[in-house]
Amino acid sequence: MRVGVLALQGDFREHAGLLTRMGHTPVLIRRTEELDGIDALVIPGGESTTIGKLADRYGLLEPLRAVIGNGLPTLGTCAGLIFLAAGTTGPTQVQLGVLDVVVERNAFGRQVDSFESELDVAGFAEPLHAVFIRAPIVEKVGGDVEVLAAVDGDPVMVRQGHIVATSFHPELLGETRVHELMLGS
């Protein structure tokens, strides 16, 4: 499969490397025409405000909304979750609004509060080891959103149809199950 990885800012290289190890062809997305012919899309972690501003500057907002709205399997991790979301609890920022959730940025604290945790994920036979770095939580979920994992009752992994989003970084540990879930494999 040809899997697009939004490559404006953040850890897009880690996702591309993981996809390559999984046997897929990563396509780094920086321009609208690079969306043509991809079978899925990953929006990586990084800085959600920067990702949104750069996507707007490069004319990617509406094309991204269109391809995701037309059913393109999509994964957002950490900042990618925030960028996909309908809104945040804090100041407004540029978001795609394609995932019916409201998120709280940096909900677990600052960089020094980053942590790792074993998560029970709906549909996974074994726990998933997750890395949380200045991670968001999902504050509100829409009726079509399924919560797949939580930390202390706070949703950290959700799915809405063809969109999967996490507060954590599966790509940092080489964890493939989240990407496989998004790809339907």
Active-site residue flag, 118: no
Residues 6+ apart with CB under 8 A from 129: 116, 117, 118, 119, 173, 175
- Stretch 157-181: mean pLDDT, rounded? 96
- Stretch 142-155: mean pLDDT, rounded? 96
Catalytic residue among 24, 162, 169, 179: 169
Pair 124, 118: CB distance under 8 Å: no
Which helix (DSSP H) or strand (DSSP E) does residue 177 occupy? helix 177-183
pLDDT of residue 151: 95
pLDDT at 185 over 90: no
Q: How many CB atoms lie within 10 A of CB 83?
A: 32
Q: How many domains does the chain have?
A: 1
Catalytic residue among 14, 15, 78, 179: 78
Catalytic residue among 14, 162, 171, 179: 171
User: Which residues does residue 74 pair with via DSSP β-bridges, in sequence order?
Assistant: 41, 163
Q: What is the pTM of this model?
A: 0.95
- List strand residue ranges (DSSP E) for the chain, in order: 2-6, 25-29, 40-43, 74-77, 85-88, 99-104, 115-119, 128-132, 137-141, 146-151, 154-160, 163-166
Domain of 31 in residue numbering reads as 2-183
Q: Please write the tens of the pLDDT for every residue from 31-75.
A: 999 999 999 999 999 999 999 999 999 999 999 999 999 999 999
Active-site residue flag, 169: yes
CATH number for the domain harbouring residue 10: 3.40.50.880
Active-site residue flag, 78: yes
